[in-house]
Structure 1
């Protein structure tokens, strides 16, 4: 069973590698469109720019660590990673966890801001959250907080030498070079008292990175659906029509929120059990779910541009202008 899970994990890594190559091209173009002057008119757009940038970083890191991760599934004749490559691997994995967390939190923030805009549309205080600058400041704040968590997560491991690696007797070619074998382990400070501090650190990282998104993303989606129905009913009673552009914006935000929910749910559930179960078999299963969720997240991030193109007339016009398919126009102050 363990070998089957390891095989599926490698397939997830390989599939994500190819998705990431295509995703980088699409997402770079997506961010370029969002940064055009005619698009920068709300905090939703500035947050989407932040999500796009973090998604690009995540895809680049996914491509970078593919071969390093594959080395852990090597055969008995392939030498292990050197100390430098091992350290590089853990740094890249920590950075990837960092940018995925930032992207997910921004998805939550985007849905919450949209809820506030619809719910408290007439209150000047809440109108400030719709400003472009609010989205950029929020992105910077989330980046700083997530960086602190990344530092904490990185500090709970150390790379130790566990011996000299030797190829199996059945290997045809044997090198005279000496290869040292290394492992990731937790410092004694974390493993004391039956690893209590390590469990707390894993739970904090998992709770903030996976569990909270699993709870908040579907909750905010439901809140948005209920709020837009309430707004439509209120408009109907006052003989005013609910603005189609506002309707499309909310639908866009809900679709993107659902994509984050789909990607976060499996890993969030397994994060809860990871604190309780530490056996090797569960570790392999949890590792597979982690890579499976990351592959889904990469695939979902790759189609954000398609979602925006289908939902936003302003986005479509900007794409056509950039591609030279349509002359430039004078735009209104509303995007969706």
Structure 2
């Protein structure tokens, strides 16, 4: 039985090696696409709602997450486990590696939380259309408030978690046996890291409690929220669609179609978030109940690489969903690439033709 599992683990590990390379390539693609996505979302024509502002926050988080992913591929010995493998001959390199891990953890959490908030805000707007207390929820300031709140709370959590490390100079004891796959455990690197006493005493109880709390707040609550919000949005969309068809009117139909597309866009993004984040949330809990030397822990690290690639693809999909389902987004792209200038010239020539003589009519 163990031999079969070992063989299966070797196959998974072999495939994960190639998926890491693919994730590295797609991370570059994600950075460029999300930079362009960010430029579009920050135009004045797009900064008109709270959900669009939250999309800006998600784009920033995705860009920073992918940049830290690229850094990890270039600079770190192991890109999945910082606790054991951060070693260097230079002290500043240790700090850079730890900051990269902290930023990666911070911005990945922000992206997940803002995905939940984006769907929540949209649901509140749809359900409370006649309630004056929620009239401002569709305004950009609400999006700015939630974005700032998410960044601040996540930064506090990441700062506390980063404090678990102590930098060790001229290490006199061997590296953990877990490092054997990536480096010589009998070596004595000039600089390395170890857990601070607060996090290592009593079988690492403080560290385990924090990891469990972070897994619940960062992974499981969003994973539970995404399907609930998706179903709620679809039900509310159906109600508003039926209501709009009974009221009628050309302007009402146009507004209904616009709101329907916006809601569908958020639904698709919510589903994509769930598919990418839910498996990582379950794997994250393994760190709570198993030690780093346990076989199931090491196996979960290899499996996590599969879903990390899925999350990278999810960050690319945001701009694609916006392009396919938002006319404002497409119009903003046209304006940026210069189609607007030709349209203005055309409309100006039409106006000149009309004012120069009443004989010419533009239909």
| Cα distance in structure 1, aligned partners of 2:123 and 2:34 | 26
| Cα distance in structure 2, aligned partners of 1:253 and 1:14 | 30
In terms of fraction of residues, the more helix-rich structure is: 2
Match of 1:271 among 277, 284, 288: 284
Given the alignment of the two structures, is residue 234 of structure 1 paired with residue 243 of structure 2, yes or no?
Answer: yes
Which structure exhibits the higher relative contact order, with contacts defined as CA atoms closer than 8 Å and separated by 6 or more residues?
A: 1
Question: How far is 1:153 from its partner?
Answer: 1.3
Q: Match for residue 247 of structure 1?
A: 260
| Cα distance in structure 2, aligned partners of 1:15 and 1:213 | 26
Question: How far is 1:83 from its partner?
Answer: 5.1
Q: Match for residue 180 of structure 1?
A: 189
Q: Match for residue 64 of structure 1?
A: 71
Maintained 8 Å contact 1:162/1:183: no
Q: Give matches, 1:139-150, under 5 Å.
A: 139-150=147-158
Given the alignment of the two structures, is residue 299 of structure 1 paired with residue 319 of structure 2, yes or no?
Answer: no
Maintained 8 Å contact 2:12/2:303: no
Given the alignment of the two structures, is residue 130 of structure 1 paired with residue 106 of structure 2, yes or no?
Answer: no
Q: What SS does structure 2 have at the residue aligned with 1:185?
A: strand
> CA 1:71–1:114 in 2, change beyond 3 Å: closer, same or farther?
closer
Question: How far is 1:289 from its partner?
Answer: 3.6
| Cα distance in structure 2, aligned partners of 1:286 and 1:126 | 44
| Cα distance in structure 2, aligned partners of 1:280 and 1:91 | 27
Q: Deviations over 1:180-225 (max 9, x none)?
A: 1765432222232332222101111222221111111111111111
Q: Match for residue 3 of structure 2?
A: none
Q: What SS does structure 2 have at the residue aligned with 1:180?
A: coil
Q: Deviations over 1:9-56 (max 9, x none)?
A: 433332111111111111111111111111111011111111111111
Q: What SS does structure 1 have at the residue aligned with 2:147?
A: helix
Q: Match for residue 114 of structure 1?
A: 122
| Cα distance in structure 2, aligned partners of 1:111 and 1:221 | 8
Given the alignment of the two structures, is residue 290 of structure 1 paired with residue 299 of structure 2, yes or no?
Answer: no
| Bigger radius of gyration | 2
Q: TM-score, normalised by structure 2?
A: 0.79
| Cα distance in structure 1, aligned partners of 2:260 and 2:89 | 54
Q: Match for residue 82 of structure 1?
A: 89
Question: How far is 1:5 from its partner?
Answer: 4.5
Q: Match for residue 311 of structure 1?
A: 325
Question: How far is 1:117 from its partner?
Answer: 0.7
* 288-297 or 299-308, larger mean C-alpha shift: 288-297
Structure 2: unaligned runs, 5 residues or longer: 1-5, 81-86, 176-186, 348-363
The count of aligned residue pairs is 313
Q: What SS does structure 1 have at the residue aligned with 2:224?
A: helix
